[in-house]
Amino acid sequence: MTRWRALDNNAAAIAPCVLAVTSIVGFVLVYLLTVRTTPGRQFGDASLRGALVTNSAVVDAVDAVLGVVSVATLLGGLAAIALIALVRLRRAPGLAAVGLLVAANTSTWLLKTHLLTRPAFGLREIAPATHNSLPSGHTTAVFSVVVALLVVVPARARRPIAITGGAAAVVMALATMSAGWHRAGDSIAAFLVVGAWAGIAGIATVLADDTAPARVPAPGIGDRSGGRWLIAMTLGSVGVGFCLAFGLVLIRPLRTSTLGAVSAFVCGGVLIVAAAVAVLMGVLLVLKRIDR
């Protein structure tokens, strides 16, 4: 029995390993493309200018959204996660979720302020050209709370939390762009940081082998039909976003115009939504695999 249980745990650990590795590779690619290449920097600058163009119409809403994130908010999220895990008698997922939340926000701070650099390419950018802003701390904070909650809540509650929480994270990402704080790549990188730590948390949960009553797989997003639809939507969004970005980079007069800047902002928003959906879908599939 112990041997078969160990084999089951090893098989269940494959999914979170794939999520962690995929997220890390994606993060490296996003950093290299959006920070270390001239076309990526040009597109990021255009999308940020487009965000600032639309800021005047929603400035009050942007300030309200950005004001949500604070140390108190993160502590409240930690308390809620610990309480849910305690009520459900799920020690291993609870500890993994708390570790995910702390590690994601700490690593984001370290990456942004100490480890990653933004070289000077001689470009005229609207934001300080050499000030690194990847990954976004605000986006990481919101998204990490959402994913940590998914780890500890019952399976049937995951879909509504993923939908509402994912929407909140996307709104936060767009708000940081409208405020001129972050570019689209910064928020996409933040999603991938959380995805990497979610994979590591999944591995820790499997290895802990915390016994619990049988759980019901999450409906909708985790099902085959829903999963295929989300995969198609995500790939389609990424494809459209990259095509628009490539076109804007190639056509310089359009990129430097107001219309081009707004189009770049919309394109960045499409990529942000696609990234959030992709990571959430990966987390839900991993949790479903662990449940089984």
Q: At what angle do helices 71-87 and 91-110 cross, to 10 degrees?
A: 160
Condensed to tens digits (0 to 9), the pLDDT of residues 197-248 reads 999 999 988 887 654 444 444 444 444 544 555 555 556 555 655 565 655 5
Each residue's pLDDT tens digit, 122-154: 777 777 767 889 999 999 999 999 999 999 998
How large is the C-alpha radius of gyration of the chain?
19
Number of continuous H segments (helices) and E segments (strands) in the chain: 11, 0
Report the distance separating Cα 84 and Cα 81, nearest Å: 5
48-75 exposure pattern, b = at least 16 Cβ within 10 A, e = fewer:
bbbbbebeeeeeeebeebeeebeeeebe
> pTM here?
0.85
pLDDT at position 59 over 70: no
**Buried/exposed 181-199: b ≥16 CB within 10 Å, e otherwise:** bbbbbbbbbbbbbbbbbbb
So what's the pLDDT on residue 216?
Answer: 42
Q: pLDDT at position 63, please?
A: 67
* pLDDT tens per residue across span 262-287: 888 888 888 899 899 999 999 998 99
**Across 53-68, average pLDDT:** 66
Cβ–Cβ under 8 Å, residues 141 and 100: no
Cβ count near 251 (within 10 Å): 12
* pLDDT over 60 (residue 86): yes
Q: With 50 as the cut, is the pLDDT of residue 24 above it?
A: yes
27-191-289 Cα angle (round to 5): 95
Give the whole-number percent of the chain exceeding pLDDT 70.
73
Higher pLDDT, 220 or 51: 51
The larger pLDDT score, comparing residue 258 to residue 173, is at 173
- The answer to which of 35-39, 182-186, 216-220, 225-229 has the lowest mean pLDDT is 216-220
pLDDT of amino acid 247: 57
Q: Give residue 255's pLDDT.
A: 59
pLDDT of residue 139: 94
Torsion of CA 29, 142, 150, 75, to 10 degrees: 130
- Tell whether the model's pLDDT for residue 55 goes beyond 70: no
Q: Which DSSP state fits 209?
A: T
More confident: 9 or 212: 9
Measure Cα distances from 235 to 71, 152, 283 in Å: 35, 29, 17
**Mean pLDDT estimate for the chain:** 79
